[in-house]
Structure formats: C-alpha cells, structure tokens
Amino acid sequence: MPAASNPALAQQGIASYDRLKPFVQDRPGHGRRYAIDATKIRRDLGWTPKHTFDQGLAKTVRWYLDHRHWCDAVLAGKYERQRLGLAKAAHES
C-alpha cells in the first residue's frame, strides 16, 4: 500500500514512508556494530539460513500486512504482550 493511501499515515499528514525513518546524527555508523558475522555458526554447526535477507524482509512485511488486527491492537494499547501462535504450535505437536 502506498504511504499516501495509508489511513493511519494520512491522519498524521505523512505522505511518504521515508518520513518514518529518522536519521540519528549523534552516532553515525553505529548500526554496523550490531552486524552479525555468521561465519563461525556456519563453520562449526553447519547452519545455513532458510531465507535470504530479502526473502525474510518480504515475509516479515507480509506478516504485518496479514495481521493488521494485531497491529491495530498494539497501536491502540490493547496488546498485552501475549505470545502469538502458541495454540497453533501446541496443536501441531
């Protein structure tokens, strides 16, 4: 959905998703500090990711779009931090 068509953003006068990404000048490059080097886990455990970064990002965005009711509850302050998917996981066991 384009930002201009998003009612929640329109209500705030935001027409571009770029306005949602603030730039923090006091610590440039600070984000690199949290980068993960998976070399050791790949080498020692033979681990490989199930998805590429782009696939994972797309799946994450799709989840939020498919679960608007949850997002709305969080924004309305009605979310009590209950775990999602536990009933499904218990059912599948």
Residue 88 has pLDDT above 80, yes or no: no
Report the 10 Å Cβ neighbour count for 9: 18
pTM over 0.75: no
pLDDT, one tens digit per residue, over 75-87 is 888 877 777 666 6
Q: What pLDDT does 61 receive?
A: 95
Residue 24 has pLDDT above 70, yes or no: no
pLDDT, one tens digit per residue, over 32-56 is 666 778 888 888 889 899 999 999 9
> Which string of DSSP letters, residue by residue, matches 21-87?
S---TTSTTGGGGG----HHHHHHH----SS-HHHHHHHHHHHHHHTHHHHHHHHTT----PPSSHH
Q: How far apart are CA 20 and CA 90, in angstroms?
A: 37
Q: What pLDDT does 91 receive?
A: 44
Question: What are the CA-CA distances from residue 56 to residues 26, 63, 81 (Å)?
Answer: 30, 10, 23
